[in-house]
Chain A
Amino acid sequence: MEAIILQILNGLDKGSAYALIALGLTLIFGTLGVVNFAHGALFMIGAFCAVTLSRILSLSHTVVDETQKDFLGNPLQVEVPYVYNIFGQATGEAIIDWAVPLAILFTIPIMIGVGWIMERGLIKHFYKRPHADQILVTFGLAIVLQEVIKYFYGANPIPTPAPEAFIGSFDFGAMIGFEAGQIIYPYWRIVYFMFAAVIIGAVFAFLQFTTFGMVVRAGMADRETVGLLGINIDRRFTIMFGIAAAVAGLAGVMYTPINSPNYHMGMDFLVLSFVVVVVGGMGSLPGAVLAGFLLGILESFASMPEVTSIIPGINQVIIYLVAIIILLTRPRGLMGRKGVMED
């Protein structure tokens, strides 16, 4: 029972990342009709926004410490962050420690800007082109973006830890009456799940309860008619592209303490997230969220030694098997609109 609960928890935090990325992907497909293979790169750029802010906050000057030697035997040059000079050491350390949560504020405008430039500068030219063209150009863009990141940040993963207060894990099992030490879960993964829930809720509320969201939903249902009413739906869809980019970026920011970011992390998530979108139903926001969590949990269960000992390799193919079954039995996906992907 403990193993099952742990894998459900694992699935929920994996699913959180899948759902956040897939939400943006499907939002872009639902509004602009574009299959954006550069969406994983937006997740990666978000993560590197956290790395960048962490580095900005850690900008230092050097102080020579005569009592210590460096690797060449010269007096050690100790790096002292400027924030220590400005705010004092205790406050400065706290600011650097909270770099990842602070990066949320730093990332939102950057990602909206990146999304706007991407959409206006490149993707809008491919609206009327076949999906194959869109996939090719956005996939190429993703490769360019990851190589740019690699050029500036290198190929190695860069540790970007959570604030000290969220490092470590808690005994979830003991809280719910199980034996102590059996269901341990890291604090930050719970934070990530809750953060994802808030972001997903916010996007749904924005689309459901604001006039802007109502127009966007109307445009998704019938773009032509909304346009005939004199509403500039293209502008609103561009803004939605920026919002989708920001969602992917925020997912990346909060993911950095879970796994050290590297230039390839967007590609690692892209294919899975695309499968999530297809399973959920292209263009369906609830479908993306449902499929994200569902596939995250399924993947976790398939990785259990008890399962892999019976069906070796199932952990590597489970998501694709589910996708095949869904596409064969329900081509529009779990919650897709009738007619989409059923041609």
Chain B
Amino acid sequence: MSKTNLTRRGVLKTGAVAGAGLALPTYLSAAGHEGFTNAPTGDTVTLGFNVPQTGPYADEGADELRAYELAVEHLNGGGDGGMLNTFSSKALQGNGILGKKVEYVTGDTQTKSDAARASAKSMIEKDGAVMITGGSSSGVAVAVQALCQEAGVIFMAGLTHSNDTTGKDKKANGFRHFFNSYMTGAALAPVLANNYGTDRKAYHLTADYNWGYTTEEAVRTSTEALGWETVGTVLTPLTQTDFSSYITPVLQSDADVLVLNHYGGNMVNSLTNAVQFGLRDRVANGKNFEIVVPLYSRLMAKGAGANVKGIFGSTNWHWSLQDEGSKAFVQSFGTKYGFPPSQAAHTCYVQAILYADAVERAGSFNPCAVGEALKDFEFDGMGNGPTLYRGEDHQCFKDVLVVKGKENPTSEFDLLEIVEITPVEQVTYDASIFGGDLGSCNPGA
């Protein structure tokens, strides 16, 4: 015998659950009027700038946001046009993207993966952003890239240096202009060997998270291939502020080089502590002791003050480059804001322009069409010489800068000097070495 228990409360409950269930995946079909997520319907198009506005990388995020605002101004025909004047592709006309005026919304990643995903999701679902870009951390980039893949929008990564972003975690909807750990190792090792010799013993202090591991591996592999020996590798907690306990064992080791695989506040503190403990003045194995910082950021180098002097590292771009694209960008940014742009600002500006250009060339905002336009796209005039957006992993291949802390800076921005522009051939690798699978492009709706 069966009994039907149909009550008003039961109906309401069932209805509420069913409604919530149906509403849950709305972003997968949100505004999919033209067969893809957030297809622009009016005379404007909205881009989502997801940058750290709070937290330890807030200053870097602020510079990213300045660059995006400048890019939007140039795309809409304002200002002096910046890199649009030097960019090899002439698809963009300064009348927005496909004739639609560019508008933007911003999100705060807080340099936390969950917060970054939440802000990206909000910009896609509530604000109708057709593309998400920005960020200052590999953890955030990988997390937001995965979200954009699910949501069916393009993700143009900001500052992310881990191999994984376009390696094992690569996605069809994600694209990175910034260089990576492998490229740092390949560019930096020969310069180190030339300056310090091939008979060196290195001790690595490495931040205990994904970016630290890939950077240590890249620098270790590249330097060992040139004859260096690695005598110690120690992981340091990401939350560490005083590195004295990690620096002092270096004194007892057989090392004559200390490699600091640290970024941001970690880098500032570990480098400061290493210099305090006299490592720059030390002689070990009959050689001057040396310190290496694989990834430099000018904004962070400022925090370490005079301690960066003479220390080698690598960077994606620097405002002192003299190519026409860099000069145009520095002129444009410097005139608007009163100081030179950082490498984070540069990569974000370029990513916004590259996205807009790809849409123009594709003739559509459909992420799959845009992705096709970006794949194997070769361009120049954006600050790093001829560049390829490789189709196999959506990683840009271009020259890499090896830099050194400047001995006699003339201003607070003049902290690094370019030692070598490593040609792209030297930093190119087989896309299969890091594994991963791009999968298929997802247009969303």
**A contact residues vs B (CB 8 Å cutoff):** 2-3, 6-7, 10, 13-14, 68, 70-72, 76, 150, 154-159, 161, 168-169, 181-186, 188-189, 258-260, 262, 264-265, 268, 299-300, 303-305, 308, 315-316
Is the Cβ of A71 less than 8 Å from the Cβ of B319? yes
Q: How far is the CB of B184 from chain A (nearest CB, A)?
A: 22
A268 partner, pick from B239, B302, B303, beta carbons under 8 A: B239
B245 partner, pick from A10, A156, A168, A183, beta carbons under 8 A: A10
Is the Cβ of A159 less than 8 Å from the Cβ of B306? yes
* Given contact pairs A72-B334, A154-B59, A169-B276, A3 touches B302 in the complex (Cβ within 8 A): no
17 more contacts with CB within 8 A, not counting A181-B283, A184-B278, A300-B244, are A10-B245, A14-B242, A71-B319, A71-B320, A155-B55, A155-B56, A156-B299, A157-B268, A157-B303, A169-B277, A258-B242, A258-B272, A260-B269, A264-B56, A304-B245, A305-B249, A308-B234
Is the Cβ of B239 less than 8 Å from the Cβ of A13? no
Q: How far is the CB of B391 from chain A (nearest CB, A)?
A: 36
Residues of B within 8 A of A7 (CB): 245, 248
Q: Complex Cα distance A189/B305, Å?
A: 18
Residues of A within 8 A of B244 (CB): 10, 13-14, 189, 300
Q: How far is the CB of A216 from chain B (nearest CB, A)?
A: 33
Residues of B within 8 A of A305 (CB): 232, 234, 249
Is the Cβ of A156 less than 8 Å from the Cβ of B59? yes
* Given contact pairs A157-B268, A181-B282, A260-B303, A72 touches B276 in the complex (Cβ within 8 A): no
Interface centre among B237, B252, B330 (most CB of A within 10 A): B252
Interface centre among B54, B55, B251, B335 (most CB of A within 10 A): B251
Supply 6 A–B pairs (Cβ within 8 Å), ascending by A: A7-B248, A72-B335, A156-B303, A182-B252, A186-B278, A300-B244
Chain B interface size band reads 35 or more
Residues of B within 8 A of A268 (CB): 239, 241
A182 partner, pick from B251, B303, B319, beta carbons under 8 A: B251
User: Is B27 an interface residue when CB atoms closer than 8 A count as contact?
Assistant: no
User: Is B191 an interface residue when CB atoms closer than 8 A count as contact?
Assistant: no
Residues of B within 8 A of A182 (CB): 251-252
Is the Cβ of A157 less than 8 Å from the Cβ of B245? no
Closest to B279 in A: A184
Q: Complex Cα distance A36/B237, Å?
A: 27
Interface centre among B58, B242, B281 (most CB of A within 10 A): B242
Is the Cβ of B265 less than 8 Å from the Cβ of A262? yes
Which 9 residue pairs spanning A and B have beta carbons closest together? A159-B305, A157-B303, A303-B245, A169-B278, A155-B58, A186-B276, A6-B248, A300-B245, A71-B340
Residues of B within 8 A of A299 (CB): 245
For chain B residues 250-283, which have a beta carbon within 8 Å of chain A?
251-252, 265, 268-269, 272-273, 276-278, 281-283
Residues of B within 8 A of A71 (CB): 319-320, 330, 334, 339-340, 411, 413-414
